[in-house]
Structure 1
């Protein structure tokens, strides 16, 4: 018999009560969730409990329970990604960049194992395809692979035919800069009968419906994080998958969260996609890389506001992220801040 009291009703999206569920400074205008995330207090408490459990007997953890705990933590993630129980297709990695590098550094072995590694005389004809919206850290890894393993690069701006002689393709589910949903299922269908591909889905999990059993990429890297420090070897964050997804279910579930975030951004500037938006910066001779860097630092340091400025397609943009702890008033504050920065009394020089 279950004697647990029922959970309290969840707060509404965008309310002060929802904001209080997170560990954010109440005065912080947090519009850069896409970069670092934010941790619900309940999930953080579970993280601390996992850390305490690890510290009570680290030898027992590493030698006896390590694999079992990680497999158990992968179960809810496999369900979220449409791979129910298929734990052999999933692994935790410290961050998306590590996962991307693991695939690219193994590309020769991957091609050999599938019988598609070319003869040395034909190696120069082998190309790695990537799109102009590629994440910069992934492009660094692709360049490294080409320089060390002899592949060529092929950059696609998405409006020209793909080359037939590619040995590997890399594409995004949601591009980071600018923030755009790509037709990843269609792209995979194009390449299904050809060579391996890598789906960079770092921003996809939790933002859009995402079913790997339908898309079927050869390799996929996505980010699960409870919002704490990503990139360390501490596995306690991995062990919070149950509490993290339970929190999301409690406040409304995946579909409700995604709908709210997308709708929230549709009420802001026009060119908006998924839970991240891209806002054009005024085109003037004064808008330079140095100025945009200063604007970013100024907003963070002086205005307690976080956004992501970047350059794409020959002009500058500002990326913002919606989340359940934000509402239209937060974006109105940002609009006022950006106007004052570029046109008013807060102009940065």
Structure 2
């Protein structure tokens, strides 16, 4: 078991290291100063003024969404709809924040965050129910729901939630009352740290110290055997889809009530997909996801700083994120796909191809 955990830690570290070396070689071949790029990345993510704040600001959404995605992947479900779930969570929280204008923050803020978690969970469960009841591929359904959420955000910020002070050139919502904000524009505050710490703790306890966590692990490793052990795989699926969407919705609420204070169409467009890589690099564990989120948050902060101090464009640092995503996907997805191949394919009638195969063979023998 210990050896397996060590391998689980070394694999993503080796992948990230290889990706960094490859990208630095590409920079050198294209004529960029590798030393200047490295210095710029360190300055943009750690050493320069406000760099640490920028790193933490982008770590928060990656962490919250990555935790939910990791739990879903651990059960063998490919929920890649965190971007849309974050959007609907942010919209739900903003509606509550605008409704509560003038009311006590101690009432409005918790209600807004509960609304965000529920909205994200419901949006995720839409894809989950299609998977669990009809056998629809959750990769396709959750991905398509992202586009629906993008259009819904576009409609709401240019329609019912549109700011009356806007210029008409950008779809932006009304801002919530300053008394409801849980951070300044930096996105760094004690309440946000408490939310993140609670999310990490809840995820770790759920996965490692509860019966549900054991069932999630068993269903992800061998769903047929888990069913033979009396585990309700459909119930486990509903739990992980709801949890995954709830975490993404929570990230949306933090964005709306934290650094943004309002919503604009298409905000943070790459965070949801990067959170998938964070979950894979983190080895689907709470602590690993935290470390991976810090790393990719630092890369995001560096991508905003590098063009200022070097001639490398912002897309240059995106190349590093892309190579890491490519390599970690190439090494991590086959393992998850092997889990999926062992999963039954549920239908509307509650049967499955895997479960019915022995019965079908017995019928063939009797027929002969």
TM value normalised by structure 1: 0.26
Higher strand share: 1
Q: Which has the higher contact order (CA 8 A, sep 6+)?
A: 2
TM value normalised by structure 2: 0.25
Higher helix share: 2
